[in-house]
Amino acid sequence: MPVPQPRDPGRTAEALGGWLRERLPGATVASLETPEFSGFSSETLMLDVQHARGLDRYAVRVAPLHYQVFPEVRFAEQYRLLRVLHENTGIPVPPVLWYEDDLAVLGAPFFVMPRIDGRVPTDMPPYHTGGWVAEESSPAEREAMWWSALEILARIHRLDAAALGLGFVDQPRWGRMGLDQRLGYYEHYMNWAWAGPKPTAQRALAWLRAHQPSEPDPPVLLWGDARIGNIIYAPGGAPNAVLDWEAASFGQPEEDLAWFLFLDRHHSEGVYVPRLDGFPSPAATIETYEKLLGRPMRHMDYYEVLSGFKFTVIMSRIGNAMIEWEWLDGDADFPYNNNCSRLTDAILEGLA
């Protein structure tokens, strides 16, 4: 969701043009697409750049400028992780060409990537309810999208994080790597995100602490926002690029897989519509993932509640923003009563 602070396209093009000319001789911004509003979690600018060697198309990712969804802006870490993944693994992340931390250019740090062709499943509307996935793709293409995403997720979980030097992703100040760290971080996030009532989030956190399982396997790199809505797809369902690594962490593969399934459930059952034909069932997905990793997926009910808790906290922050921007009345209950909180409550009721 965007922030109501529109960028001036002319000034933005001028600033980026001057910055790019130091890297591309003769560069001029031929066209610039800015969002109607500037960035919420992060902002993405699309531009065509004419220079001495021809015309190139870029995506510029800008750190949050007006409003933070997360308590910490881990923007430099995201850039560093993308560089490592692109240069040392086969994970299809966009190559990062340049990074800039001088706030004088765009008001916030940013990095520049080539624009990747393809389409991304929409969150607004949720792809089970509208957009190209619902209206243009076939069941066979949806199935291909699902399984190709799952294969990439398994490749991420099989990476040797130590050999890749990915220790900078760890956040030990929130606890021991894995569930201790995740619960510590999201408890802090919950209280930072919204000062009002948070019954579902508090109930979920209490349940998670009371039922916290052991984690017998070594922690692996987690994407953190594993879902088909963060993949650029080619026609037919092949992935061209994997996006949005700002929530990367270490933990058990079950956490990423549960998030993958929960977000899809939220975009169907959570908004009171059936899943589209072609998408495999959660049971089939878990069974296939066990084969991909060569071990059982443990405590998936627990990790589903964890997913609901995390997304409920994120939605409370978004609700807080909507009140601050006067899109909602000050006494609106949206920060703690929304599609995600209701789905999470239903999941907890089923486990009672």
Q: Could you check whether the bond before residue 172 is cis, i.e. omega within 30 degrees of 0? A: no
pLDDT of res. 43 = 87
- Kindly list the structural domains of the chain, giving each domain's residue range(s) and its CATH number in brackets, ordered by start: 9-114 (3.30.200.20), 132-351 (3.90.1200.10)
Q: What is the pLDDT of residue 65?
A: 82
Q: Are 239 and 228 in contact (CB under 8 A)?
A: no
Q: What is the pLDDT of residue 77?
A: 95
Residue 41's pLDDT is what?
66
* CB 244 within 8 Å of CB 69: no
Averaged pLDDT for residues 230-239: 96
Strand order in 54-62's β-sheet? Answer: 28-33, 43-51, 54-62, 110-114, 98-100
Helix axes 139-157, 253-266, angle to 10 degrees: 150
Confidence check: pLDDT of 227 > 90: yes
Q: How large is the angle between the packed helices 282-293 and 253-266, nearest 10 degrees?
A: 160
Distance CA 128, CA 24 (A): 42
CA distance 272 to 260: 18
Question: Tell me, what's the pLDDT at 39?
Answer: 45
Band (151; pLDDT cuts 50, 70, 90)? very high
Mean pLDDT for the stretch of residues 52-70 = 90
Q: What is the mean pLDDT of the chain?
A: 94
The answer to whether residue 52 scores a pLDDT higher than 90 is no
Closest by Cα among 312, 306, 333 to 322: 333
CA distance 40 to 20: 25
CA–CA separation, 179 and 85 (whole Å): 24
Summarised one tens digit per residue, pLDDT across range 282-329 is: 999 999 999 999 999 999 999 999 999 999 999 999 999 999 988 999
pLDDT of residue 1: 47
* CB distance 341 to 202 below 8 Å: no
Q: Please count the other Cβ atoms lying within 10 Å of the Cβ belonging to residue 123.
A: 15
pLDDT for 297 equals 98
- Among all chains, which residue has been given the structure tokens 């510029």? 60
What is the chain's alpha carbon radius of gyration, rounded to the nearest angstrom? 20
- Structure confidence at residue 38 (pLDDT): 45
pLDDT band, residue 4 (cuts 50/70/90): low
pLDDT one-digit tens code per residue, 126-145? 999 999 999 999 999 999 99
Residue 230 has pLDDT above 60, yes or no: yes
Percent above pLDDT 90 for the chain: 89
Q: To 10 degrees, what angle do helices 300-324 and 253-266 make?
A: 60
Give dist(CA 146, CA 131) in Å, integer: 17
Arithmetic mean of pLDDT, 324-344: 95
Average pLDDT over residues 324-342: 95
Would you call 280 exposed, middle or buried from its count of C-beta atoms within 10 A (0-12, 13-18, 19+)? Answer: middle
Label residue 252 by pLDDT band (50, 70, 90). very high
**Residue 96 CB partners (closer than 8 Å, separation 6+):** 79, 82, 83, 86, 111, 112, 113
pLDDT tier at 66 (50, 70, 90 boundaries)? confident
